[in-house]
Structure 1
Amino acid sequence: MTSACLSLRSPASSPFPSAAGVGSCVRWAQPLPPKLFRSALPPAAMPAVPRRLLLPAAAGIWDFLSGGASGAAAASLAVRRGMQLFKQGDVAGSVAEFDRAIELDPRQKAYLWQRGLSLYYLDRFEEGAEQFRLDVAANPNDTEESIWCFLCEAQLYGVEEARKRFLEVGLDGRPVMRAAYAMFKDGGDPEKLASNFSSSSDGELFYASLYAGLYHESQKNADSAKSHIVAACKSRYGSRSGDYMASLALVHCQCRNWTLEGQES
């Protein structure tokens, strides 16, 4: 890995100039590989090329052929504004900007996982599930969007039906997300997920806590969900990394009217 800053959830999962500049630089104590662009090859044979390197190049070729670069640039600015508004707690405002980005350049929609997250917190679960399904169709290795689709559909149909509709994706290179994926897909113990990564890197600890809490929320266990997601916010990674998902954990607490007081880091 180079010395460049890398977020676990890279804002550049859009195929256009995106919000890579939003938020501070993020590093894992133990660097984890970025999401890969889906190929027909089995996981072991897949080339280690991040989507964020492949997709902008493809979009650049399209813009050259179609003359649409100005629309893509304006859409990119809207995405950045939407991400910043979300991080500030203005969830409705973020969706308005993401929708504007789609109006400016419809190709954005299949990659706007940020929009799906915002829709979840507005209780627009059907639209959120649609967004995540589009994202997984564009990148069938997207573990987190598969989980978020489940979270939306669990609110709509209940856990059992949502699990029947679960989107299967390729093998994630991150141990914590492989474990979280298996838990959401097949059922499991969120306490075990959190415990198994309690002595891991700061980033893995954060993501284990976050997804343990989200699993509890899907099961309507509000107190347990609060315990884990507040712990994720208070963790070193959650409070210092600048990761978009660290901001999401804070937004989650704000939307649920949870305070961070009295929690250990």
Structure 2
Amino acid sequence: MANQNSLEYELNHWNQVIHSHPHDPQGYVRRGMVKFKLAQIDESITDFDRAESIAPHLSPYLWQRGLSYYYAERFEEGAQQFELDLTVNPQDVEETVWRYLCITQFKGVSEAQNSLLVVRNDPRLVMRCVYELFAGNCTTDDAIAAGQKEGRRGRFYSHLYVGLYYEAQEEVERSRKHIIKAVHEYPLDDYMWHLASVHQRLRGWI
């Protein structure tokens, strides 16, 4: 997995790309993603906003900004971003769950669950089970068991989303246990692995 030095190198690369091509929105998206991995949350949002200002058609594809909004505690904007994302990707469990997580923070778990959007066709068994967990139709043990069937990636995603589920429930110790397990036992070259790493850092667990 990328360490601090490699992320700083990557950041420098995108700084140079943007310097050479200041009107290319993808440069700002990619740099924003690196800044997020470095836990520079507000700075990542600035880059995603800049990309959108250059290319407004990108708005429903900026799921990364929705994640940054969550960690910036801009929960209503996060929910709005994920709702917009779902207009172009309506069967994505993750965006649906992140909308739920944002809504929980300003309207509560009951309202978030009542407004959970219907998703039926995610090809990943573990994510289908995660959806049912947030919908109140299965247990955290069921989600973990589903992850066990899909290798390292499935195990990572099951522990990540069980940890996030417990955060929504305000069960901090259980959330900490699963997020830390996801980060340290199932490392992936994946943006969401970096998110889990940022999560534990911002929560003061390392």
* TM class by smaller structure: 0.7 to 0.9
The alignment covers a number of residue pairs equal to 188
Which one has a larger percent helix, Structure 1 or Structure 2?
2
Quick check: 1:140–1:170 contact (8 Å CA) kept in 2? no
1:250 corresponds to 2:200? no
1: CA distance, partners of 2:25 / 2:196: 26
1:174 corresponds to 2:124? yes
| Deviations 1:171-215, CA, capped at 9 Å, x for gaps | 110000000011112353223322443364000000000000000
Match of 1:119 among 60, 69, 73: 69
Quick check: 2:45–2:65 contact (8 Å CA) kept in 1? yes
Gaps of 5+ in 1: 1-21, 23-69, 260-265
Matched letter for residue 100 of structure 1: R
- Using structure 2 for the length normalisation, give the TM-score: 0.86
The structure with the largest alpha-carbon Rg is 1
2: CA distance, partners of 1:197 / 1:221: 21
**Matched residue, 1:51:** none
1: CA distance, partners of 2:27 / 2:137: 39
**Matched residue, 1:229:** 179
The answer to which structure, 1 or 2, has the higher relative contact order (CA under 8 A, 6+ apart) is 1
2: CA distance, partners of 1:154 / 1:208: 20
1:146 corresponds to 2:96? yes
| Deviations 1:79-128, CA, capped at 9 Å, x for gaps | 00100111111111111100111111111111110000000001100000
Quick check: 1:190–1:213 contact (8 Å CA) kept in 2? no
Q: Report the alpha carbon displacement of residue 76 of structure 1 after superposing the two structures with TM.
A: 0.8
- Using structure 1 for the length normalisation, give the TM-score: 0.67
**Matched residue, 1:33:** none
Residues 187/170 of structure 1: CA separation in 2 closer, same or farther (3 Å cut): closer
Would you identify which runs of 4 or more consecutive aligned residues in structure 1 move more than 3 Å?
A: none
2: CA distance, partners of 1:98 / 1:190: 33
**Matched residue, 2:84:** 134
Question: What's the % identity of the aligned pairs?
Answer: 41
Gaps of 5+ in 2: 1-9, 11-20
What SS does the corresponding residue of 1:137 show, helix, strand or coil?
A: coil
Matched letter for residue 66 of structure 2: G
What SS does the corresponding residue of 2:174 show, helix, strand or coil?
A: helix
Matched letter for residue 243 of structure 1: D
Quick check: 1:120–1:152 contact (8 Å CA) kept in 2? yes
Quick check: 1:232–1:249 contact (8 Å CA) kept in 2? yes
**Matched residue, 2:164:** 214
